[in-house]
Amino acid sequence: MREYEDAYPEIFATFDDYEAPEELAAYYTILNQMEGKPEPTYSEIPNYSYSPEPETEAETMITYDSGTEFSDAIYKQDAERIWAVMDELMEVLHVTQPRLYNGVLNQIRGL
């Protein structure tokens, strides 16, 4: 690597200059390709303050709490599993209580 640095001193002279990061990025990309280094994976790339954090388990937990027995039962449960149960319930309503089923769907569509 030192031989490349010696060959292009003007690039490395601007290393501390904030106007040259694009040239440095291009230089290191070419250098990595020449040396056969693999591209970094997503986990190797650091997150910056403006980067969203990767989705965690906590983000799929239900936090709705109206104080009812139902909301108490689903609070902090996995949302995907709760939606599967709700989907089953809606299918049962569709067959047994079509009027109630349509009323719920109309209410949801009106949100």
Q: Would residue 49 count as lying in a domain?
A: no
According to DSSP, the residues that pair with 78 across neighbouring strands are 61
Q: What is the DSSP-derived secondary structure letter of residue 46?
A: P
18-28 average pLDDT score: 66
Alpha carbon distance 36, 108 (integer Å): 55
Asked whether the beta carbons of 88 and 73 are under 8 A apart, the reply is no
Taking only the tens place, the pLDDT of each residue in 51-61 is 666 666 556 88
Asked whether the beta carbons of 78 and 86 are under 8 A apart, the reply is no
Q: Would residue 70 count as lying in a domain?
A: yes
Alpha carbon distance 79, 62 (integer Å): 6
Instruction: Note whether 62 and 37 are same-domain residues.
Output: no
Instruction: Identify the residue whose tokens are 């291009």.
Output: 26
Q: Would residue 96 count as lying in a domain?
A: yes
Q: Would residue 51 count as lying in a domain?
A: no
Instruction: Note whether 30 and 69 are same-domain residues.
Output: no
pLDDT for 86 beyond 80: yes
Instruction: Note whether 40 and 80 are same-domain residues.
Output: no
> How many domains are contained in the chain?
2
Instruction: Note whether 19 and 40 are same-domain residues.
Output: yes
93-109 average pLDDT score: 92
Q: Would residue 50 count as lying in a domain?
A: no
Q: Where in the sequence is the domain holding 34, given as residue range(s)?
A: 2-44
Instruction: Note whether 17 and 40 are same-domain residues.
Output: yes
80-84 average pLDDT score: 90
pLDDT band at 45 (very low <50, low <70, confident <90, very high): low
pLDDT for 94 beyond 70: yes
What residues have CB less than 8 Å from 47, skipping those under 6 apart? Answer: 53
Average pLDDT, the chain: 76
pLDDT for 48 beyond 80: no
What residues have CB less than 8 Å from 93, skipping those under 6 apart? Answer: 100, 101, 104
Q: Would residue 35 count as lying in a domain?
A: yes
Long-range CB pairs of 99-108, under 8 A, 24+ apart, other chains included: none
Instruction: Note whether 61 and 104 are same-domain residues.
Output: yes
pLDDT for 106 beyond 90: yes
